[in-house]
Amino acid sequence: MGEVRTLAVQAERHLLRWRTRRGHGTAMRYLDELAAALAPQGWRFVRFYRREEFPVPVPLLWVHARATKDVGIVVSVLAVPGRAWAYHDAQRGRHGYLCLCGDTETAAAQIDRLLKHRLFPATW
């Protein structure tokens, strides 16, 4: 029974990886929505979307402070179970789950709070 479960977990991982790589346009759309939600709060963005220019398998959005580029977060969009998509901290991969993509305002608030804490560690 354990072998069947192991095979099912491996199959799900492969399927999620495949959906993530095939969903380049979907990921770009969700990252653009996130950038639009964060822009009024004063954050800056660098988009790493073009495959020819940036050899990464998924689109990335670097969100950073206006005054400094030392403090920021790189956000990716990955497929998750249930035919959904979620924002992730790209440095942590699937362990860096932030929020489901359908809830852009919550994701923007969470990223805003995280970056403010990194800028001003006493504010949490």
Residue 124 lies in a domain: no
Q: Is pLDDT above 70 for 1?
A: no
Domains in the chain, number? 1
Indicate the range of 32-36, 46-50, 89-93 predicted with least confidence. 46-50
Domain span including residue 8: 2-119
Full-model pTM: 0.89
Asked if 38 contacts 111 with a C-beta cutoff of 8 angstroms, the reply is yes
Distance CA 69, CA 115 (A): 12
Query: How does 33-65 read in b/e, with b if 16+ C-beta sit within 10 Å?
Result: bbbebbeeeebbbeebbeeeeeeeebbbbebbb
Higher local confidence (pLDDT), 90 or 51? 90
DSSP state at residue 23: -
